[in-house]
Amino acid sequence: MKLKVCGMKYQDNMIEVAKLHPNYLGFIFHKNSSRYFDGTIPELPKTIKKVGVFVNASIEEISEKSKKHQLDAIQLHGHESPEFCDTLFHAKLGSESHPIEIIKVFSIKDDFNFEHLKAYESVCDYFLFDTKGKLPGGNGYTFNWNVLKNYASTKPFFLSGGIGPEETELVLSFLKKPESKYCYAVDVNSKFEIEPGLKNVYKLNKFKNELSFL
């Protein structure tokens, strides 16, 4: 099981969080977000993948940010079409030896039509399921994970949306259920914050240890 810490904003905080060795760190390139990142990413361990989070951005913007920050993955958090994902998927933003991963986000509340995912199967590497709310992400509450009983794909997915210290037991319980078979990673953000973009390293470390991330 992998761990992604999203919404990073401050250099010193990034360095401290990186010492916990999460698998992914997320940087939000959406100007309307309180976690909007417009700085410089410090040198990070090679084992940590840098994820750029975009909301209805252009291919040009994504390409520019990818090159500038040497991103390892692109997370699409808007209404990107399968055709857009296909263009991005084949844009060769990375290299043959180091291709950039594409993560497509879908927002869920109490139900979801998983047939909608079929068109995206071949044009992304992972799905990410987040909570439907007023904001594209970081709303601070979970969706009904029972919906994932109807997940018919074999595409690995990130579980996201309002996961915090209080949800540790819920996550552990979910990971024992059949519907977690293709759960690749747990994505955390707002519930581990002191303020938007500033993560509580102590709480993250405790969460990571309790869930025994590898």
pLDDT in tens, the chain (214 residues): 999 999 999 999 999 999 999 999 999 999 999 999 999 999 999 999 999 999 999 999 999 999 999 999 999 999 999 999 999 988 878 777 678 999 999 999 888 999 999 999 999 999 999 997 665 545 566 899 999 999 999 999 999 999 999 999 999 999 999 999 999 999 999 999 999 999 999 999 999 999 986 4
pLDDT digits (tens, 9 = 90+) for 101-134: 999 999 998 889 999 999 999 999 999 999 976 6
Q: Where are the beta strands (DSSP E) in 96-214?
A: 101-108, 126-131, 157-159, 183-188, 193-195, 198-199
Q: What residue spans of 47-163 are helical by DSSP H?
A: 59-69, 82-89
What residues contact 1, with CB distance under 8 A and at least 6 apart?
Answer: 175, 183, 184, 185, 186, 211, 213, 214
| Six token digits for residue 118 | 């079929």
Considering its fold, how many domains does the chain have in total?
1
pTM, two decimal places:
0.94
- The model's pLDDT over 84-102, given as tens digits with 9 standing for 90+, comes to 999 998 887 877 767 899 9
The strand pairing partners of 87, in sequence order, are none
Instruction: Indicate which CATH number applies to the domain containing 29.
Output: 3.20.20.70
Q: Tell me which residue range forms the domain holding 200.
A: 2-211
